[in-house]
Chain A
Amino acid sequence: MELLRLDQVSYCYEKAEKNVLNNITCSFESGRLYCIKGSSGAGKSTLLSLIAGLDVPTSGNIFYEGTDITKMNRDDYRAGKIGVIFQSYNLLQNATAAENIMLSVNISGKRIGIDEVCILLSQVGIEQEKAKRKVLKLSGGEQQRVAIARAIAGGTPILAADEPTGNLDAENETAVMDIFKKLAHDMGKCVIVVTHSQNAASYADEILYLKDGGLAHENK
């Protein structure tokens, strides 16, 4: 079922001469895992931020279940429809891992107990003791996993991840990609992953390649 559709989406940064994204048209369905690949600076993260509703296209539209997200309340869209895992994690540094997750869930209007949070964190490989530690005191890989847990915790229909395994070793990369796959295939989520990793891309149902501002399907 089509969940998200990009229609002639272009984006140009302020004061830039050229569009970084050019008339991109594509759609994303529930229950599938997508990987977006491309060289550095190709616009992968930009595309993901437009999908996540963090910014608006210069032209074109993005539709969520047929509704243009620019016409929706984008705060509600971000809080309830899409979970984002940022390349630089974007966690509240002075808060604990558990607090980061609980706050994110609270923002989406739901409630979550500390026990559920601990279970969620253990699923991404964070022990209970570290759940109550300030994010600042966790390693890069651990922060990455807290960010994944935070995105999953909200139970949003879409999950967008920017290089989610960039700071993880092969073992943890496999574990995380397994979780994404399970979320897509077992729980019917639409998972979109931006990655350079060939291993991570191998989990995808569909691979999209971003080049010269355009998007192309890549055969697996």
Chain B
Amino acid sequence: MYILKNALKNLIRNKGRNAAILIIATLTLTVVTVSFSIQTLSSLAISHYKDSFGVQATLETNWEKIDKEHPPEQTVNEDGSITMEQNFGFIMPDAEEYANYADSQYVKQALYQASCAIYSDSLKQVDDNLQQGEEIIDLGDMTKDELMKFYMVSTDEELAEILGGREELEKVIDTKANSVGSLIGFTDLPLLNEFAAQQRKLEQGIFPQNLNECIVSNVFAEKNDLKPGDTISVSGPSKSLDKKEVTLTVVGIYGDYFNEATAATFGTSYGDIFTTYDTLMNTGFHYIDLTDAVFILKDADSVGAFEQELRAKGLNKYLSLVCSTEEYENNTKPLKNLSHIAEIFTILASTIGTAVLLFISFINVRERKYEIGVLRSMGMKKSNIAKGMICELLVMMLAAFAVSVLIGFVLVKPVASTLLDDPANVTISLPAISIAFSAGLAFALSIVSSSCAVLVVMRHEPMKILSERN
């Protein structure tokens, strides 16, 4: 107890020297606290960016590779047709394969969009097509006879050759006539380009979130006298397989400005009915086309590893994983640089602060050699003298730590707001880890500076210390 009492008294007795130590320690700890906070906050901002956006990757055809490696001479079917696989050496993965690819540690989320034509006896058509306008051609909605007429062929074989095989012809033959529109299933709003571009806007109700919910266009709603809460029944495109109807609840109506702008050139798609991806896949309809698939990767650095995994899972060699890391890099690079600079600053401030404190402590102990000699001559144990000196430094470091944390609280917000491009992404406050780091450094500084200095003096006999002083 007397050691602690004496240590506390010594703080006052040697106030000049202690004030210098206190100022340097406070400055060091403040700089370290703030720079470590900046480092932590920029890392948090990067992590927040990763969590929010990730890196988008898609599977795309590597035409260059196909040109180089895939021989122009392919197997031709009996009917003279060539399938896509025969022609180019690959077919695009279906929904099941995509789901398998997305089941990966590197994938944060997989976004899909798929569609299929829908039919209904109770709903009226709203879109222009070949039947209603001579100049507007929609091959996807034509019957076999219409296609034969369009391609000016007279036999099934000739049409099959043009369509890419017997299978495609069978599909055309099996497809019902006069669809009322398309049922489009999506996993995520950003995939709906027209909505993102404000060409289509939700005007009533909500976007579909649950199974069997959908939104329809204002034109479609008007023509069919629909409002949110009403239900519609639709069936799939296959004459032979899609005989059952599925009932969907209209939960919203969107205004379609996209079709107004493009109708004259491409026809209209007022019949686009949007639903969730799961709803579409659960309908059991046939001839569903996966129109868009995007993998959101956790990290830009995992692109290579993910592609390797896809190859191992059987991804065709003519398909490549393409991702745009440019945006990711543009957004995270300044933060990474800031984090790196803050890290260097933290290390420098810690090192310089420790060195200066060590030096001052050494001078301090040299100046207190006489005091140590006196205490030793009175029989005070070396360990007790060390304890006393450590106590003094601990108390000073505790004070310096408290002051530095207070200053840190005040400084971190304006400094971080200035340095971080978009501080709204992270909550700016003094991170707990910075406080812990500062406390650890304060403790280490007091132990290292006191122990090191004490060891220098403790090597000598008290008489020697006193005689040197005297």
Q: A residues bordering B, Cβ < 8 Å?
A: 49, 52, 54-56, 75-80, 84, 86, 88, 90-95, 99, 103-104, 106-108
Contacts and interface: CB of A to CB of B under 8 A. Distances in A.
Q: Which of A54, A84, A104 has the most CB of B within 10 A?
A: A54
Given A91-B374, A92-B371, A108 B379 contact: yes
B375 interface: yes
A108 B201 CA distance: 88
Interface residues of B, number: 25
Nearest to A100: B374
Contacts of B464: 55
Given A92-B371, A99-B9, A103-B6, A55 B378 contact: no
Contacts of B470: 88
A49 B378 contact: no
A203 to B, nearest CB: 25
Given A88-B470, A94-B14, A95-B13, A107 B462 contact: no
A80 B374 contact: no
Given A55-B461, A75-B380, A107-B375, 12 more contacts: A54-B461, A54-B466, A55-B463, A55-B464, A56-B461, A78-B377, A79-B378, A90-B373, A103-B378, A106-B6, A107-B379, A108-B378
Contacts of A93: 370
13 contacts: A54-B461, A55-B464, A75-B376, A75-B379, A75-B380, A78-B377, A78-B378, A84-B377, A103-B6, A103-B378, A107-B378, A107-B380, A108-B379
Interface in B219-255: none
Which 4 A/B pairs are nearest by Cβ-Cβ distance? A79-B379, A78-B379, A94-B13, A106-B2
Contacts of B373: 90
Contacts of B463: 49, 54-55
Contacts of B462: 54
A149 to B, nearest CB: 13
B381 interface: yes
A99 B375 CA distance: 13
Given A49-B463, A54-B462, A88-B470, A77 B379 contact: yes
Nearest to B12: A94
B6 A90 contact: no
Contacts of A84: 377
Contacts of B13: 94-95
Interface in B1-46: 2, 6, 9-10, 13-14
Contact of B377 (A52, A95, A106): A52
B375 A95 contact: no
A81 B375 CA distance: 15
Contacts of A107: 2, 375, 378-380, 384
Nearest to A95: B13
Interface string B451-470: 00000000001111010001
A43 to B, nearest CB: 13
Contact of A79 (B6, B380, B382): B380
Contact of B2 (A52, A80, A103): A103
Contacts of A79: 378-380
Interface string B131-175: 000000000000000000000000000000000000000000000
Q: Which of A52, A77, A94 has the most CB of B within 10 A?
A: A94
Nearest to A102: B2
A94 B373 CA distance: 14
A166 to B, nearest CB: 14
Interface string B379-390: 111101000000
A122 to B, nearest CB: 22
Interface string B347-382: 000000000000000000000001101111111111
A92 B379 contact: no
A84 B463 CA distance: 12
Contacts of B380: 75, 79, 107
A92 B377 contact: no
Nearest to B379: A79
Contacts of A52: 377
Contacts of A95: 9, 13
Nearest to A82: B379
Nearest to A81: B379
A93 B10 CA distance: 11
Contact of B379 (A76, A90, A94): A76
Contacts of A75: 376, 379-382
Interface string B38-82: 000000000000000000000000000000000000000000000
Nearest to B6: A103
B457 to A, nearest CB: 15
B378 A104 contact: yes
Nearest to A87: B470
B9 A90 contact: no
Contacts of A99: 9
A100 B377 CA distance: 13
Contacts of A108: 378-379
A55 B377 CA distance: 10
B136 to A, nearest CB: 100
B328 to A, nearest CB: 62
Interface in B376-432: 376-382, 384
Nearest to A156: B379
Contacts of B371: 92
Contacts of B10: 94
A209 to B, nearest CB: 23
